[in-house]
Structure 1
Amino acid sequence: MAVVVYLTYTPGVLEHLKPKRLPGLFIALIVSFMRLWFSAARIRYLSEKKLSWIASFRVMLSWDFTSSVTPSTIGGAPMATFAMTKEGFRLGQSSAIILYSVLLDQLWFALAVPILLVTGLYYEVVPDNIGMVGQASMLLLYAGLLSYAGLMAYGVLKNPSAITKVLNGLFKLPFLRRWRGKIAEEAKNLEEYSHELRKKPKSFLLKAFFLTFMSWMARVALPTIVVLSLLPADVVLSVLRSLAMNLAFLIMPTPGGSGGVEGLFAIFQGPLMDRKAFIGLAVFAWRIISYYITVGLGMMATTWYINRSVIDKLQTEEAGAEINEDISAGNKH
């Protein structure tokens, strides 16, 4: 981010800011919290409202935080599963709910790819300045997302037992074998809950997908809102490029995509801005609103779960020590 600001900043650029546009940054902040609300609402809905609203926000914030501090290709799903177990759900049930959430995300990607391919015939969705390699990479990304969405749909909706077989096979490895019994039990729970989700009416899937759709639309809208808060731009093209950017973010190998996503913002959104000096300012505002605020809130949520885990462990150890004392006292008598 500092590099982008350094390369694009021009002294006196702030004098060209129009006060009437700046309220757009507050709108971006509201849209960022709307994204979080839709994501939390989806988790709560998939748990059949067994999760309270506060717990749903905690789970989502911990998910977002872990995604922000680990490579984008890893994501925060494992932390979200752990968080749900701390909210009282069985590991298998938590895994099924998170897997279903990931599946809904993949279905959204499967919808987004055709939109980008069709609109790419009429708009320059992928900028020419990324070159032939960049164009080919985007096409490979589209193909990979569609393939992964198909596999997820098959595993979660069509054949949950396939996931169980994969887990059981994985935990036959020597260094994982000691957890094999526990995992086999939880894999069975996962399969059972997956079957329960499959029995839900189509309206259940449609509402869950609607919440997913709105969450991603809020995420996609953020770069465009930030750009329009500084300068006029082609709104349709900005939104389409933002959609393409968000798909490209998924394969960034750095924690939270840091470094790569700022560069992609400059490449995709920069050409739409008349004043190049505003690119660094736009990147800065966008990352603060969409990333760093989430990191701060997510850190608090994740720490809450870690503290709870430590407290539970200490209480278990204290209870075990008391039992041993009682047994020792009984033996003396």
Structure 2
Amino acid sequence: MDTQQQKMLKNLSPTRALIPILIGLAVPIYMVWSSDDFQVDQIIDHLGNMNIWWIFLSFVVLIGRDAGYMYRIRTLTNKHLSWNSSFFVIMLWEFASAITPSVVGGTSVAVFIMNREKISFGKALSFVMLTAILDNLFFVFASIFVIILFPGSIFPANNYSAEILGMTLGLKQIFVVSVSLIAVYTAFMAWGLFIGPKSFKKFLWFLTSNRFTKRWRRMAVKSGNEMIVASRELKGHKTSYWLKVILSTVFIWSSRYAMLNCLINAFLHIDLFSLTQGQFLDQFLIFGRQIIMWIVMLISPTPGSAGTAEYFFGEFFKEFFNDAGLVIVVALFWRLFTYYTYLLMGTIVLPTWISKRFK
């Protein structure tokens, strides 16, 4: 096994899951400790009275999301990946994303995993870049859509603010900064991947042409060469190919957000077949706020947004609950389904995958 493979496997080490777990649990514990409204008896009552069918539907939606991920990666590779290989790729990719900061993600590890599944480096790189572009485009356009749909209520009515680089920013300002960075980065990557990969390389060369940035020239040249290889691999696909990957992207993220709707409904005792007009509109508002919250969380420096996600959940959704303690409980359920599940799956799947791919 060469040094690069050892480095990648070290990045996938299950022991790296300990830090995000500790951070993710520390924030709810602090929220409980600092809250005067958290009453254990009430929480036990809420857990006993939650709608089990909504919880079951949450699992169904979660499984559907993972199936959508597997379908998309198989479509991207023209079915060169089997369903079994797609399962390993998605679970380990999610695990890698969960143990790395959200702003970094697990893209380099994803290329390594796909390469070990007998996808050439150039193709694996192009697929990972393409999924990042598709996901980011969904965030940008979906966020614009929900802001137009709920112009006055998509952002929570609170006084939250944070100091970033010496500036005090509220949720709206943090969102604007985050979505702007995502849009610029995505446009830059799309230009390099689909329009001018050679111009992309020349631009990186220009950025590293002065004495202050020259130290990063080797990395810039490597990135430019990788972009040229990835761009070449994506040429010649039919319209049906692009339609499938775009629709599967919409399905994946819609399923992820719909899962939280199911969880909240389980604790608010919402009857699916007798929704009032207000409850019906709240479903869309909850769905839309997740899009905004996700974009805010993308600039989190912690692995998998651990701690950040639990805190922002309360900021975005506490107005839907009468009990402040219940907010913490639902936040933990939400993270259990969307985050801790993949930490657990990664630690289970990783040894099996290593034994199969590194005999």
Whether these two folds match at TM > 0.5 is yes
Distance in 1 (alpha carbons) for counterparts of 2:315 and 2:220: 47
**Within-5 A mapping of 1:201-212:** 201-212=238-249
8 Å CA contact 1:129–1:267 kept in 2: the answer is no
Alignment partner for residue 183 of structure 2, among 132, 146, 162?
A: 146
Find out whether 1:26 has 2:56 as its counterpart.
yes
Aligned residues: 306
3-state SS, counterpart of residue 269 of structure 1: helix
Alignment partner for residue 254 of structure 1, among 289, 302, 316?
A: 302
Report the Cα offset of residue 36 of structure 1: 1.2
Report the Cα offset of residue 20 of structure 1: 6.5
Give the equivalent residue in structure 1 for 2:151.
Answer: 121
3-state SS, counterpart of residue 40 of structure 2: coil
- Alignment deviations for residues 99-157 of structure 1 (CA, whole Å, 9 cap, x no partner): 11111112212212311331342424343332552221111122222222211221111
**Within-5 A mapping of 1:317-328:** none
3-state SS, counterpart of residue 28 of structure 1: helix
**Within-5 A mapping of 1:281-296:** 281-296=329-344
Gaps of 5+ in 2: 1-27, 162-168, 271-278
Distance in 2 (alpha carbons) for counterparts of 1:133 and 1:89: 44
Give the equivalent residue in structure 1 for 2:228.
Answer: 191
Cα separation, partners in 2 of 1:295 and 1:146, compared to 1, 3 Å: same
Distance in 1 (alpha carbons) for counterparts of 2:149 and 2:91: 33
Alignment partner for residue 110 of structure 2, among 70, 80, 88?
A: 80
Give the equivalent residue in structure 1 for 2:196.
Answer: 159
Cα separation, partners in 2 of 1:20 and 1:226, compared to 1, 3 Å: closer
Find out whether 1:240 has 2:288 as its counterpart.
yes
Find out whether 1:9 has 2:38 as its counterpart.
yes
3-state SS, counterpart of residue 199 of structure 1: coil
Report the Cα offset of residue 269 of structure 1: 1.1
8 Å CA contact 1:110–1:149 kept in 2: the answer is no
Cα separation, partners in 2 of 1:89 and 1:163, compared to 1, 3 Å: farther
- The percent identity for this pair of structures is 25
Q: CA RMSD in A?
A: 2.9
TM-score (norm 2): 0.76
Distance in 1 (alpha carbons) for counterparts of 2:351 and 2:198: 34
Give the equivalent residue in structure 1 for 2:317.
Answer: 269
Matched to 1:89, the amino acid is I
- Alignment deviations for residues 41-94 of structure 1 (CA, whole Å, 9 cap, x no partner): 111110010000111111111111011111111111111100011011221221
Distance in 1 (alpha carbons) for counterparts of 2:74 and 2:357: 22
Gaps of 5+ in 1: 312-333
3-state SS, counterpart of residue 72 of structure 1: coil
Distance in 1 (alpha carbons) for counterparts of 2:235 and 2:156: 37
Report the Cα offset of residue 4 of structure 1: 3.1
Find out whether 1:217 has 2:254 as its counterpart.
yes
Matched to 1:2, the amino acid is I
8 Å CA contact 1:227–1:273 kept in 2: the answer is no
- Alignment deviations for residues 254-309 of structure 1 (CA, whole Å, 9 cap, x no partner): 01111100001111111111222211110111111111111111223334444456
Distance in 2 (alpha carbons) for counterparts of 1:82 and 1:305: 13
Give the number of the structure whose residues are more often helix, by fraction: 1
Distance in 2 (alpha carbons) for counterparts of 1:296 and 1:94: 25
Distance in 1 (alpha carbons) for counterparts of 2:240 and 2:65: 22
8 Å CA contact 2:143–2:291 kept in 1: the answer is no
Give the equivalent residue in structure 2 for 1:324.
Answer: none
8 Å CA contact 1:125–1:237 kept in 2: the answer is no
Matched to 2:40, the amino acid is P
Distance in 2 (alpha carbons) for counterparts of 1:248 and 1:68: 17
8 Å CA contact 1:167–1:187 kept in 2: the answer is no
Matched to 1:211, the amino acid is S
Alignment partner for residue 104 of structure 1, among 119, 134, 143?
A: 134
Radius of gyration: which is bigger? 1
3-state SS, counterpart of residue 324 of structure 2: coil
Give the equivalent residue in structure 1 for 2:273.
Answer: none
Cα separation, partners in 2 of 1:109 and 1:37, compared to 1, 3 Å: same
Cα separation, partners in 2 of 1:166 and 1:53, compared to 1, 3 Å: farther
Alignment partner for residue 50 of structure 1, among 55, 58, 80?
A: 80
Question: 1-10 vs 271-280, which deviates more?
Answer: 1-10
